[in-house]
A and B are shown apart, each in its own frame.
Chain A
């Protein structure tokens, strides 16, 4: 079975070479048959990669320790679910997942791309094949997951205990679907550059792919954040860690792309910029892969001691980013600029959105790479941590978030800010009221906290205002309004939901950071502790035995106002003997949108235990907001206009020329 997987992988590599060369040549030579090769090859390549991945997953599930990767990252006593998720819980397996998703997207283009112009489809699949070929080669040459051990060890070395969690089942696949999903936008852009023209179907094709990738990336990042929150045992949800930034940069650029693609689709303006942005977004995904996979982040020295993988990915990075940008520089001037618009218009607002988002992306990029660059150039060592990003990224987001509600309310081509402002009066009043309430009634609320709450309410109410205005609120009877509301295009709901979700996430962040409380203390069994209105009684430590670990579980009873027990929270220290590692399982109790978060520390000599307790107001909104954003993207995808393959119902209206 393992050999079958290995063979399938090599075959998939060979097919990716075919997919790269044949359709590309066919498109140049105008050979229909050669162009048509791309589709079936892409689908077959995906099937082979899936077979290869399945073979590895079976090796993991059946604890086949004759495979080096399984031996290093699995153990026979592990629960089955972690044996399976362990398939991608390591370098080799996760790269295989990466190409699996890449070929999956390629197959999707092949399967659903029947209404694409033949040359465009051929070129897209060729570029997709080229990316695939590079990464297949990378896997086969430097990170082969099917390498065998002889003699086979009897027992494995266990999966990293922190990864033995349901999060590993969800987070990486979602993240990669997002990361790699942008490869389609990249391939479409490069294909357009190869052809030297962007036709109307281009934008209609790129936007849904951007939406899909963005939706998954949003989910992947949010899931990772929640996983870090409950697994690491101290309740942080975002750390500005370089590896997090690596996934955040494509998200920011992808968000910008999502918005500029709207302008391009509706008004055929910003063509060249959208194309560049699509290239940059996937380039940042590649950069993220390089940063994470090369070990350059852990330390420059780690990179220098085992440079094969790093140098290989660096070559892929240079080839694709450099190549696509060079092609862009050569061909961009051939592309015609699109329609005109007044600065104050929907287009103008979206340009502003792009300005702030790209600056924010660059800020995160510089903050992530600057220490590496400085050390390489001058040898000086500095750290760039959360305080830097708070000071730079934060101020960039404030104006952006403040103008979000205006965008959807402005008309295309030429908008009226005052009319939009008038419609937003209610939302503005609500935001002001929220700020006042925060300042007046919440103890210890800072000006920033009030501002943050106000901004969040502004975003939420602004999104609702958009829906209300578009259903004709105030000008028609409720019955008609309801009908109009139901008849609104799905993409309008999508926009409103995404912006609303953004507001909720902001509210969660501000709530947790500004109004959270914390207590650190030593407790004996029977003692009680009170934090922000929650009373807990420590029942004691109870040892227990898991399948591949032993634990000491501290049980706490939540006591209500009437003195009776309302529930229980428990937190455990787990010891994994194979890796000699201890993890903390935090205890969480959700009260509405807030959470009581508890984690155990060391035991004292006198039988006491160190307990750290947090009250995190509104914290669940951080991830809840991300779910709402995803729902918004899904809603937009269901819009008839974007349903790929759906025939366009009416012809594009030709804007009536002013003098004719």
Chain B
């Protein structure tokens, strides 16, 4: 079984079994139609090699990844759209196979976090800036007003 670990990690993950380089797509798999092949490559990059560590089937050397690559190409040659190919693969292997999780309710928090946090942070900054500025001006006017008037009277 091949496991690809990125090197940044490697040192940290030393316990992992590691079997050499990934040597993904083999010459005999490549489709003769360059347009179809390009689509196959793009789709492969979004599909997980089920027996690897966080590696797409496009990068993996594992037999299962090869089978999946060939399957994707067969469906494309048969005339499936990209979406149909993905749906077919998911129906066979489950959502785990997708490297880009679907926009579903259970993934709402995953996809929503960046947007929500950016908005919340932005609103927080604006509100704090406003409140601090208004309190600052208020305290200024309250204290300074008297002093100013006194100075003007003198």
Chain A residues at the B interface, C-beta cutoff of 8 Å: 73, 88-91, 94, 160-163, 167-168, 171-172, 175, 221, 224-225, 227-229, 231-234, 236, 238-244, 246-247, 288, 292-293, 295, 297-298, 337, 340, 343, 351, 355-356, 358-360, 362-363, 366-367, 370, 374, 378, 380-388, 391-392, 396, 520-522, 581-584, 586, 599, 601-602, 610, 612, 659
Is B9 close to A, CB under 8 A?
yes
Check B11 against A89 for contact (C-beta < 8 Å).
yes
Of B6, B16, B45, B55, which one neighbours A298 at CB under 8 angstroms? B16
Q: What's the nearest-Cβ distance from chain B to residue A442, in Å?
A: 18
What string of 1s and 0s marks CB contacts (under 8 Å) between B19-30 and chain A? 111111111001
Of B9, B59, B95, which one neighbours A236 at CB under 8 angstroms? B59
Check A351 against B125 for contact (C-beta < 8 Å).
yes
A343 to B121, CA, bound (A): 15
CB-CB nearest 9 A-B residue pairs: A243-B9, A233-B21, A385-B99, A224-B8, A228-B7, A584-B21, A387-B100, A292-B12, A227-B7
Is B34 close to A, CB under 8 A?
no
A239 to B95, CA, bound (A): 20
Check B10 against A582 for contact (C-beta < 8 Å).
no
Which of B20, B106, B111, B132 has most chain A Cβ within 10 Å? B20
Check A521 against B14 for contact (C-beta < 8 Å).
no
In the complex, besides A387-B99, A581-B18, 11 extra interface pairs with C-beta distance below 8 angstroms are A162-B20, A239-B6, A340-B136, A355-B122, A370-B101, A378-B106, A382-B98, A383-B48, A385-B99, A584-B20, A610-B23
Check A224 against B11 for contact (C-beta < 8 Å).
yes
Given contacts A172-B11, A242-B54, A359-B121, contact A382 B107 (CB under 8 A): yes
Of B26, B48, B54, B106, which one neighbours A520 at CB under 8 angstroms? B26
Chain B's closest residue to A232 (CB) is B21
A360 to B18, CA, bound (A): 30
Of B14, B54, B95, B148, which one neighbours A381 at CB under 8 angstroms? B95
A229 to B21, CA, bound (A): 11
A224 to B24, CA, bound (A): 22
Which of A91, A228, A522 has most chain B Cβ within 10 Å? A228
Is B4 close to A, CB under 8 A?
yes
Q: Which residues from A are CB-within-8-Å of B106? A: 374, 378, 380
A601 to B132, CA, bound (A): 64
A343 to B127, CA, bound (A): 11
Given contacts A367-B110, A602-B23, contact A383 B118 (CB under 8 A): no
Check A581 against B101 for contact (C-beta < 8 Å).
no
Check A234 against B24 for contact (C-beta < 8 Å).
yes
